[in-house]
Chains A and B, each alone.
Chain A
Amino acid sequence: MLVTGAARQLGGRFVRRIQRDPGVDRVIAVDAVAPEHQLGDAVFVQADIRQSAIARVLAEHSVDTVVHLDVSAKALGAGGRTTVKETNVIGTMQLLGACQKSPTVQRLVVKSSTNVYGSAPRDPAVFTETTPPKSLPSGGFAKDAVEVEGYVRGFARRRPDVAVCVLRFANILGPQPDSPLADYLALPVLPTVLGYDPRLQFVHEDDVVDVLEIAAREPRRGTLNSGTFNIAGDGVLLLSQCSRRLGRPTVPVLLPAVTWVGSALRTIGMTDFSPEQIRLLTHGRVVSTVQMRETLGFRPKFTTAGTFAEFARSRGPGLLPPERVGRAVGRLAELPIGGGGQAGTTHSTHGAR
């Protein structure tokens, strides 16, 4: 089994997990830079998937399963948007080209993102795997993901004998966040778009590792693990709820001004406020996970709210911790006017008669 993007947190976790699987002989971890974390018994090959060297790695180890995790919104370490885009798109092309030549490859798993749906006011409230996007993402990571999926579809056509699984993840949150949204949520004060309260979905990193394992192995009885699946925790959180649960105050900004605030924040290097990010924070995005449950047979351990609670715990309290707000309201209740509610008495509107 070959895993790309192993130098990232998620890749590292997946490599460590999958080598415990008795059905997996050897794990070859690939990335352009050496990982900081341990990879266990896995063979680490420092190779850039943008180069054709990756074909040699595939042939040398006669790889049967390729898990392509090197599709990310954020550069690892230094490197701007150009590097990220090249790794995402050119890297995928090279990898798929290598897979197409390799006679041993039987299974391909690709990490994608629900970003491919875009977000627009004219979209249906819930995206299924077959919903065509109303407005195709015009740039940024979302466009990368769309292009990557396009190449993967092409590959699946040319190599029908290879089982291809594309997993579209909602916003991944975990203890060590590695996404622009997590960076955004780490800001002390959250700039929001005035008059919009987007619906967001999250998926926990533990669930991501679990579902990748399901996708990379032989399907269990009664399930099918090739195809395209949305992966998200149950339920929906509004951005306003997120900010309140994190205890971080929001600053509503008029939509035209958001772009300026975004570029200002980008300049000082606080967060990557890309246009697609702003669209997500304006219109939100919710996907249907029926296919994930029924076809893939995966049930996430964490709901959207649960994932977010874990994330909030790992981030520490914000400026307005919910507990303190709760206590403030409690103190309000202790004022003479609100005190002494006789809990046993039945509330009666007829008393006023």
Chain B
Amino acid sequence: MADAKVIPFDDDRSRSGAGRRRGTLPGGGRDRTPPQGGPAPVSALPGGQVPEGAAEAAGGPSQDAGEASVSGWDRRIAGGLAFLRRRLTGDYEVDEFGYDKELTDQVLMSMLRPLADKYFRVEVKGIENIPSDGGALIVANHSGTLPLDGLMLQVAVHDNHPAERHLRLLAADLVFMLPVVNELARKAGHTLACAEDAERLLQSGEVVGVMPEGFKGIGKPFGERYKLQRFGRGGFVSTALRAGVPIVPCSIVGAEEIYPMIGNSKTLARVLGVPYFPITPTFPWLGPLGAVPLPTKWTIQFGEPIPTDGYPPEAAEDPMLMFNLTDQVREQIQHTLYKLLVQRRSVFF
């Protein structure tokens, strides 16, 4: 279709267009019509790009702006109703992990997008390091008390990548024990962080996101912000090696400050059965209001991919190589974090 030079520009504008549309739409959050608008049944990929291109072609000749917007509305309502009908009659597909592409594209993503675009103003760098096809393992730092960084990463990859790739996140088992959360996580394409699932996803050519720090990273105190914790046992490296996919290191700046965790109530955590119970300057003192994240400015940088296809098959069993590669990934993320922190003007802008 369009060549590589055009796509980022086009994509960028489509995003700003989406933002503008939300601005003019009162109660846009409730609206179930797809933000991509237009032909809802098609996937987001053509939906996001084809109408833009077509409009460009048709927009030059004198087309009445008012009429176009009315028909756009009709289209959107018709699309929304078709969507509603499919949802209510159960006529949609999910994959073996329970990933519901339609729901993710049309509802979940459009709920998260304002948070990414308007609230955290996520700036994405190095998106070209994620391949356009085939599997890849994105390894990111983890922070922020609540795993908002994972969700923002998912939106960032989908909205900025020219191929609109869907990130499949690997989540802790706690996610799949909690009611409602587990249902939404599965439908958004997340699955349990275990070697079997990761390998299955990578081998079917998906982009998989993993945060190997786990609870150690997300639940670390504010004083240790941007200090990478131990990267698990490096299982992600052997999984990537076995699947022969590149590892893309990813550094997320800004998530550390959304909930500055100044304390951790171990007793409450044990009572509730969670790994930590955060105490921030506002939570739990202000109740639910205290759970509103601070509007920090985020930067997500994808680094140079580390290829893994040059190794012999038995390399995945070599602990020394695993440790070396894990350290290499970790160093690269840590280094980029420091670089981004130096460049950052302020936490909030």
> Hey, which bits of chain A sit against chain B, CB under 8 A?
121-126, 128, 131, 193-197, 199, 235-238, 240-245, 255, 283-284, 286, 322-323, 325-326, 329-330, 332-333, 337-342, 345-353
Report B64-107 CB contacts with A as 1/0, cut-off 8 Å: 01111101101111100100110011111111111010000000
* Interface residue stretch chosen among B136-144, B178-186, B221-229, B281-289: B178-186
Shortest A290–chain B CB gap in Å is 10
The reply to whether A349 and B37 contact each other, CB–CB distance below 8 Å, is yes
| A286 and B96 contact, Cβ closer than 8 Å, known pairs A121-B176, A195-B183, A199-B186 | yes
Interface pairs A-B: 4 shortest CB-CB: A195-B179, A351-B68, A244-B90, A341-B74
Residues from chain B with a CB closer than 8 A to the CB of A236 are 94-96, 98
The reply to whether B92 and A125 contact each other, CB–CB distance below 8 Å, is no
Bound CA span A33–B91, Å: 42
The reply to whether B183 and A348 contact each other, CB–CB distance below 8 Å, is no
Interface on chain B toward A: helix, strand, loop, or mixed SS? helix
* B51 within 8 Å of A (CB atoms): yes
* B131 within 8 Å of A (CB atoms): no
Q: Which of A128, A244, A341, A349 contacts B55 (CB 8 A)?
A: A349
The reply to whether A197 and B51 contact each other, CB–CB distance below 8 Å, is no
Q: Which of B88, B176, B179 contacts A325 (CB 8 A)?
A: B88
The reply to whether A352 and B24 contact each other, CB–CB distance below 8 Å, is yes
The reply to whether A345 and B81 contact each other, CB–CB distance below 8 Å, is no
Q: Which of B55, B65, B98 contacts A197 (CB 8 A)?
A: B98
Residues from chain A with a CB closer than 8 A to the CB of B187 are 197
> Hey, which bits of chain B sit against chain A, CB under 8 A?
14, 17-18, 20-21, 24, 37-39, 51-52, 54-56, 58-59, 63, 65-69, 71-72, 74-78, 81, 84-85, 88-98, 100, 173, 176-183, 186-187, 191-192, 194, 196-197, 200
| A241 and B200 contact, Cβ closer than 8 Å, known pairs A122-B192, A123-B192 | no
Bound CA span A94–B200, Å: 40
Bound CA span A222–B20, Å: 60
Sample (24) of A-B pairs whose CB atoms are under 8 Å apart:
A121-B176, A124-B194, A124-B196, A197-B98, A199-B96, A235-B93, A236-B95, A236-B96, A242-B90, A244-B89, A332-B84, A333-B78, A338-B74, A340-B74, A341-B77, A341-B78, A342-B74, A348-B54, A348-B63, A350-B17, A351-B63, A351-B72, A352-B20, A352-B69
Residues from chain A with a CB closer than 8 A to the CB of B18 are 349
The reply to whether B72 and A325 contact each other, CB–CB distance below 8 Å, is no
Q: Which of A126, A284, A322 contacts B89 (CB 8 A)?
A: A322
Residues from chain A with a CB closer than 8 A to the CB of B88 are 244, 322, 325-326, 329
Q: Which of B67, B85, B98, B192 contacts A330 (CB 8 A)?
A: B85
The reply to whether B65 and A349 contact each other, CB–CB distance below 8 Å, is no
- Number of interchain pairs (Cβ within 8 Å): 168
The reply to whether A241 and B90 contact each other, CB–CB distance below 8 Å, is yes
Q: Which residue of A lies closest to B83 (CB)?
A: A329
Residues from chain B with a CB closer than 8 A to the CB of A122 are 173, 176, 192
Shortest A299–chain B CB gap in Å is 17
The reply to whether A333 and B81 contact each other, CB–CB distance below 8 Å, is yes
Q: Which of A243, A284, A330, A347 contacts B37 (CB 8 A)?
A: A347
Shortest A254–chain B CB gap in Å is 8
Q: Which residue of A lies closest to B174 (CB)?
A: A121
Q: Which residue of B lies closest to A352 (CB)?
A: B69
The reply to whether A349 and B51 contact each other, CB–CB distance below 8 Å, is yes
Q: Which of B69, B180, B183 contacts A351 (CB 8 A)?
A: B69
Residues from chain A with a CB closer than 8 A to the CB of B182 are 121, 195-196
| A352 and B72 contact, Cβ closer than 8 Å, known pairs A122-B192, A322-B90 | yes
| A338 and B81 contact, Cβ closer than 8 Å, known pairs A131-B196, A235-B93 | yes
Q: Which residue of B lies closest to A240 (CB)?
A: B90
- Other 14 A-B pairs with CB < 8 A, given A237-B94, A342-B71, A350-B17: A121-B182, A195-B181, A199-B94, A199-B96, A241-B94, A283-B176, A322-B91, A345-B71, A347-B39, A348-B51, A348-B59, A348-B71, A349-B18, A352-B72
Residues from chain A with a CB closer than 8 A to the CB of B176 are 121-122, 283
Q: Which residue of A lies closest to B176 (CB)?
A: A121
Residues from chain B with a CB closer than 8 A to the CB of A283 are 176
The reply to whether A352 and B21 contact each other, CB–CB distance below 8 Å, is yes
Residues from chain B with a CB closer than 8 A to the CB of A243 are 90
Residues from chain B with a CB closer than 8 A to the CB of A195 are 178-183
The reply to whether B77 and A125 contact each other, CB–CB distance below 8 Å, is no
Shortest A330–chain B CB gap in Å is 7
| A346 and B58 contact, Cβ closer than 8 Å, known pairs A195-B180, A236-B94, A243-B90 | yes
Shortest B195–chain A CB gap in Å is 8
Bound CA span A51–B129, Å: 68
The reply to whether B68 and A196 contact each other, CB–CB distance below 8 Å, is no
Shortest B238–chain A CB gap in Å is 16
Q: Which residue of B lies closest to A324 (CB)?
A: B89
Bound CA span A340–B91, Å: 25
Shortest B21–chain A CB gap in Å is 6
Bound CA span A283–B90, Å: 19
Bound CA span A283–B183, Å: 9
Count chain A CB atoms within 10 A of each CB in B51, B65, B179 and give the residue with the most.
B179
Shortest B27–chain A CB gap in Å is 15
Bound CA span A247–B90, Å: 9
| A326 and B89 contact, Cβ closer than 8 Å, known pairs A197-B183, A341-B75, A347-B72 | yes
Q: Which of B71, B81, B179 contacts A196 (CB 8 A)?
A: B179
Q: Which residue of A lies closest to B25 (CB)?
A: A352
